[in-house]
Structure 1
């Protein structure tokens, strides 16, 4: 029922009207009561209002008293709105069809979307996701209806239907790829894992982390394009050698994406004799051999001394700018880049380090000689064994063990400088060595392709910092894989955001953009008995960010009521 004012000639009447449907379903209205003429009601209308309020248990405010107002806590809207729009635009919402045909009674796509967006806005544990939902106004999501076990069930469904999910992700990525030439970058990193339990087929194994310590971890391999778009990821056991992962990973990428040519670019650590043989045996669906560009690790530079000595003497001695060249090595191209400024800096730093170590050695030798002569100094007495151990430790810490040889077998403290090793180190200063079977790229182009690999390192940095992929507290192997898949989807959204912000010359990183959009908030106010919702004003900077991301302005019409 509702109140309606009707007119009859010059007079206006206040009526109580009821809406209903007749026997044919057509909407109708009927007058329940006529309250009187509008111009004659006066104080009588106030009595009617007061009576209705008493019936409902409410009361009018006293004269002069401000209306009763209740403010709900403001909820962040702009960042989750933009990420939701990108999620749908890229095609991640097609996952709804994938899971609709399954036995799961939950909205798996919506739950995955919640967890992915959380990784970009305020990464937290699955319980933390529920707390985060209480602070945001996520379009289409009823925060109170989500429970912790549903998030875990969604992760299980993700792995159970991994092949179908990968198919959807591959389809949405294909429009972003260069179909004529895809330069594929591959690298691995270690992700710390918590827990002491041991599971069947556990991927958490003890291995050497990137920080140089032994820790429980799993390995994450990521493939991306030269434009920074992630293509594929894989979780490996924490003690897996990197060289064994490249071939199967590249083969999966080739099967998944119809690319005519692939140049695999990988970092140091993946170059070995066995790995080179395996790489040269990979054939693409087009019939072409896989092409690759691999960096030579520093520990193997000594294998190329004989090849590089003539190159150094002929081209590098008097060079003032960066030079490139190539040599032949085992039937492959050895591309060399030499930067004189870098070489001078590395050489000077090494000389300073050696000089500092020799000063320490001379100080300890002097103290030992003084002690042998019967002179007593301040502090504890120094022994030859103690000086030898301390000096050896400092040499190892400075990565100078190949040049400074500490005699560990002598009774007296002594060391020597390996002049040949020092000469070889100076020969390698400022150089980058790449092994490749690509024949139609100039040395400068090969170098440029490889240097783009630094972008995937930034991707790992994003995974570990902004997205906070680790440490991982899940213990089940499939939950760990699901967690990695969720973080991988978040990385795709992050990279698309970065591309669009860069293309618009906004000068903003995705983190900074989301921080600005987070200030767009959803508000709810109740005044007496009426609730009003709205969105905070949007600044020009926020509008420019939305425009750069190709996302329309948030509207209140698509928001659920605040809970």
Structure 2
């Protein structure tokens, strides 16, 4: 007779179900601002909803009590969120004597939950769901992007590889490989808007240092015989004799990507500078910046550009 061993494990739910409480500022008809704490959630149809959890009062009255009511109650909302989420846990019982067939592979990755926490903190799910709301897609673009992000961080590879490994995760990725490929055109269409949205979210949630901008250019090759209007023959960083596409990438002072753009493969590195840095200056609210780039990129024309209407410094490096 065998004695069965059972282990109880407390697991917090995946972050798609984590509660978020926010401070809401509402301007009333009398012109005064009213503060309240509300809960963000999704209804049965997956649509975003909000419910008031606690009414706080008018801002001008609260300013008589607190030095900075907004900062104070944002912290209150954050602590309430942590307390509520700490109460949510699931208990699993595992039979340590149970055996699986030799050819069974049911291993699951749970570490990606940390990635999903940031994914949802940044509101990426909200962005992609909103952008597909008026499209006639038969697949979930947010679910596809979630898989691609997780796979890129944990197991970098092709889109096909990411799809083939989707069963490693607890999430239900109900789409085909063809759906993944179809979604790429949609992601390309909204890429610039998404980059601006992501920057705003990072600034709000974590803050970022954009006083120094690092800029560089790389390229990607395609294993095809003939190029086209975008994939052209150019100077490959890997010395490949294949058509390539150029990518200009701007990063903040901490090396976190800020903005990128793609260019035909025959575009010279220095010619990518102004379009990318110009986009950063116009849409990322950076103010005066220091740009760090290679000598081949910081040419006389580009130095003149930096010192034109939008003043900036440059370090050749």
- TM over 0.5, yes or no? yes
Q: Deviations over 1:422-448 (max 9, x none)?
A: xxxxxxxxxxxxxxxxxxxxxxxxxxx
1:147 paired residue number: 176
Which has the larger displacement, 68-77 or 110-119?
68-77
Contact 1:173 1:231 in 2 (8 A): no
RMSD: 2.5
Structure 2 counterpart SS, 1:184: strand
- Is contact 1:220–1:235 with CA below 8 Å preserved after alignment? yes
SS in 1 for 2:233: strand
- Which of structures 1 and 2 has the larger relative contact order (alpha carbons within 8 angstroms, sep 6+)? 1
- Give the conservation status (yes or no) of the 8 Å contact 1:184–1:223: yes
Written as runs of structure 1 = structure 2, the 5 A alignment for 1:96-175 is 96-134=129-167, 136-139=168-171, 141-142=172-173, 145-175=174-204
Q: Which of 266, 272, 278 is the equivalent residue of 1:245?
A: 272
Query: What SS class does the counterpart of residue 86 from structure 1 fall into?
Result: helix
Are residue 191 (structure 1) and residue 183 (structure 2) matched? no
Paired residue secondary structure (1:170): helix
Task: Compute the displacement of 1:109 (Å).
Answer: 0.9
Q: 1:211 to 1:167 in 2, by over 3 A?
A: closer
Q: What is the aligned length?
A: 217
1:92 to 104, 110, 124: 124
Q: What do the CA deviations read for 1:58-84 (whole angstroms, capped 9, x no partner)?
A: xxxxxxxxx997565322322322222
Q: CA deviation at 1:214?
A: 4.6
**Alpha-carbon offset, residue 114 of structure 1:** 0.6
- From the CA coordinates, give the structure whose radius of gyration is larger: 1
- 8 A Cα contact 2:218 2:247, kept in partner: yes
Q: What SS does the aligned partner of 2:135 have?
A: coil
Structure 2 gap ranges (5+): 1-96
TM-score, normalisation: structure 1 = 0.36
Separation in 2, partners of 1:73, 1:212:
41
DSSP 3-state at the match of 1:260:
coil
2:217, 2:247 within 8 Å by CA — same for their partners in 1?
yes
Q: Corresponding residue for 1:255?
A: 282
CA–CA distance in 1 between the matches of 2:266 and 2:293?
19
Which residue does the alignment assign to 2:24? none
Superposed displacement of residue 218, structure 1? 1.5
Q: TM-score normalised to the size of structure 2?
A: 0.61
- Supply the distance in 2 between the matched residues of 1:166 and 1:155 (Cα, whole angstroms): 15
Partners of 1:215 and 1:73 in 2: how far apart?
39
Residues 290/116 of structure 1: CA separation in 2 closer, same or farther (3 Å cut): same
| Cα shift readout 1:213-271 (whole Å, capped 9, x = no counterpart) | 65422111111111122100111111211111112211101122122221111112113
Q: Matched residues in 2 for 1:197 and 1:138: separation?
A: 42
Write the deviation string for residues 77-127 of structure 1: whole angstroms up to 9, x where unpaired: 223222222211232222222222333232101101111211222233333
User: Contact 1:208 / 1:215 at 8 angstroms: preserved in 2?
Assistant: no
User: 2: CA distance between counterparts of 1:146 and 1:230?
Assistant: 29
Partner-residue secondary structure (3-state), 2:136: coil
Indicate whether 1:79 and 2:111 are aligned: yes
SS of structure 1 residue aligned to 2:258: strand
